[in-house]
Amino acid sequence: MKITACSKDTLSMFSQWFAVPYELLIDANPQLSSEQLKQGEIVNIPGYQMQTPDTLENITIPIEILKRVNPHLSKADITSCRQINLPTRIVQPIVNGKRNYDFVALKQELDKLCEYYPFIKKHTIGKSVLGLPLYEIQIGKGAKQIHINGSFHANEWITSAVIMMFVNDYLLALTNGHTLNGYNALSLYEQVTLSIVPMVNPDGVNLVLNGPPDEEPYRSEVICINNGSLDFSNWKANIRGIDLNNQFPANWEVEKERKLPKAPAPRDFPGFAPLTEPETIAMAHLTEKRSFSKILAFHTQGKEIYWGYEGLEPAESEQTVNEFSRVSGYKAVRYIDSHAGYRDWFIYTQKRQGYTIELGEGVNPLPIEQLGDIYKDSFGLFLAALYMD
């Protein structure tokens, strides 16, 4: 929500009037140069939206706020006029994960969240094969940098919905002064910079949920790779038939030799070389230019957490994964016979904490009916990622 300031206004006044933490107000207004505001400056108020009420009955908002959001009206007009702008605190989630969560759904909800919570930083880290933007959002200002991603695999798109639901709950806690399982949300915001790429493989997700694209040659190629079938529910790869989570240079040659697909396929084909795909290149560049202390890659399914690779994981990983297991009920698994994944590569090159979390259980794609249970199990895990060192 945007408000036009008067000459004697300060950010502290707006923080007090709207009960919004001063830190969030500062971060939501990087365009402002000082605490003292100038006449006509536009101030973003995070966690609010503007509404037009049908009646002024029982409105308890101070007249000073109403004057700021209705600068075209006099004080007398405000107290008598029914057609005024009324700032309303957002207390309900915007994200609706209980649907086919394709790229359009993700973009619509990201745009809304960035509008209502302008302290979010949104970046495009690259583009998919079909040119869709790969979004990263950042929340927080702490020295500890943590990264979360979802939908590396196309038919695991439910991970994007789960991630976005947590993001929404985190934002609501920040702007409404709530705690998260007893943890102060604002303290986490000040201690942690959270990086999120909610949908690494948007082309693949759209393929699974919406069918083949109109663009050629990709339409003909994916149908051919899929043996002529228009049922893409088992598709894990990107739109070129390359498994993005087998594309990273961590013993990639081992995966190349033993994987059965030797050409583009719905799943498991690691490509003809590592890091050939724009999606994996973007993720590698993002990771290399930041200093993530830990990464969490969300997949489905199995209710397991993979946390070791080649003995290169740091000692603190065990304490963290034990906490992840405690709060989620998921099983911690140190080593699996797998290479060339994003987590593998992160541990291999960074020697820092990396975790692959397999949400839910059953057969991919998991039914949307599992979403509530998956989110309930994983909420504490998301939170533990922020408070654990």
Sequence-ordered list of residues with C-beta below 8 angstroms from that of 303, at least 6 positions apart, any chain? 328, 329, 330, 331, 358, 359, 360, 361, 377
Is 318 an annotated catalytic residue? no
Q: DSSP secondary structure string, 51-118?
A: E--S--TT--S-HHHHHHH-TTS-HHHHHH-SS--EEEE--S-----SS---HHHHHHHHHHHHHH-T
Q: Which amino acid, residue 250?
A: A
For residue 142, give the 3-state DSSP assignment. Answer: coil
For residue 325, give the 3-state DSSP assignment. Answer: helix
Q: Which residues pair with 186 in a beta bridge?
A: none
Q: Which helix (H) or strand (E) holds 195?
A: strand 192-197
Task: Please identify which of the residues 255, 304, 313, 358 carries the catalytic annotation.
Answer: 358
Q: How far apart are CA 279 and CA 292, in angstroms?
A: 19
Q: How far apart are CA 52 and CA 88, in angstroms?
A: 10
Q: Which residue has the tokens 């975790």?
A: 355
Torsion of CA 115, 288, 356, 257, to 10 degrees: 130
Tokens of 83: 């057609």
Task: Tally helices (H) and strands (E) across the chain.
Answer: 14, 14
Among residues 362, 365, 329, 373, the alpha carbon closest in space to that of 158 is found at 365
List active site positions: 358
